[in-house]
Every structure is written in C-alpha cells, then in structure tokens.
A = this chain, B = another copy of it.
Amino acid sequence: MPTISERRERERAHRHQLIITAARELAEAEGWEAVTTRRLAERVEYSQPVLYSHFNGKDAIVSAVALDGFSQLAAHLSHARQAATEPGQAALRAVSHAYLAFATERPALYQAMFILPTDLKFASTETPAPLRASFDEFVNCFHPDNERRELFAEVIWSALHGIAVLSGSGRIPPDGQEERVDLIIAQIAGTRQDRQRHKRGSRSRT
C-alpha cells in the first residue's frame, strides 16, 4: 500500500478544501468581485497555477463553493423541518423561514449557489446529492400521497427564491419579508393542498 502517496493525496484534498473555504470567506468578507485568482492564491499562500491544478477555472471554484453551500443549506433546512412541532404546514413554515434566513444571512454564499454562473448540473440525473437533498426538504413537507408534491416544492422554492433575490437586490422593499412568506405559505400550503390530492398525475422529475 503506497502510504507515501496516500499522504500526498490527503494533503492535496486538504488544500482543495482550503481553497474553497478561502474563496467563500473572501466572498463573504468583500463580495465576489473581490475574489480574483491572484487574491485567492495569495490568501491560501500558493501561486495562481496551483488553483488550476485543483479546478478547471474560476467558475469551477465558485461551483465548489456553491456545492458546499447546498450541503449547508440542506442541513439547515433539515434541522428546521425536524424541529417543527408537527409535520405539514408547520414544517413548511419552518423550512421556508429557514430558507430565507439562510439567503439573507449568507448573501455571498447564496449568490454563488443561485446567481453566479456555475458548472453545477441541476434537475438532471447527475444532480449532486446536496442539491437534491435541499430540494427534498421542501418535498418532504408535503404528504407522500400528494402526487403533486414535487410541483408544490418547485413553486414554493421559486417563490422563496424570488423573494430572497428581489429584496436582496433592493427590487422590492427589504422589510415585510415576514408578511410575504406568511402569505405564500397560507396560500400554497393552506387547506387547498388537501383538495389537490385526488387530482392529476404527477410530472416526471429526475
């Protein structure tokens, strides 16, 4: 067993993660426009080319940060959902608030996940697990018998994302978030959803 190259591989993996966290921290401290390959290299105390031995380019680094972010988001949402006193609407409310809290408290990370161009594959067979896990937190707020729970999850997610990004960029007033979320949940996950159950087949989502 080549224990010697194992150590190298370990060090390499460690440095890989170091780059990712350095990029995230730099972005969270000064914004993504401040994350240049030079400054990032300086921060990890290596020269620029080592970045390219780990990632295909800057976009790949952003993608790695985003993927990390999805893991954190999935954990965050999962925690909120399981902390809810009861499933159903209460869980959905908890997850939704957790989602918006994540978006507002970590804007740079959220930006990497949803706004900056990344290489991540969404909604396909090669979708990374953390992405799917985050999405499933919404899906699992609905009853398994609900054939349209994925559709509901998509819509909820979209609405929350819209609220997050529009208020984050000042397109809608930043205050009153609470009110909007409450309205969405009341309308989407209110009693109506029970009536939907007997209708319509589901769409396919990979």
Contact residue among B160, B162, B169, B173 (Cβ-Cβ distance under 8 Å from A157): B162
A182 to chain B, nearest CB (A): 10
Interface assignment of A58: CB less than 8 Å from any CB of chain B: no
Q: Is the interface of A mostly helix, strand, loop or mixed?
A: helix
Contact A172 B158 (CB under 8 A): yes
A32 to chain B, nearest CB (A): 11
Contacts of A165 in B (CB 8 A): 114, 161-162, 165
Contact A151 B176 (CB under 8 A): yes
Contacts of A187 in B (CB 8 A): 155, 187-188, 190, 192
Contact B158 A123 (CB under 8 A): no
A44 to chain B, nearest CB (A): 27
Interface assignment of A179: CB less than 8 Å from any CB of chain B: yes
Contact residue among B123, B155, B166, B186 (Cβ-Cβ distance under 8 Å from A183): B155
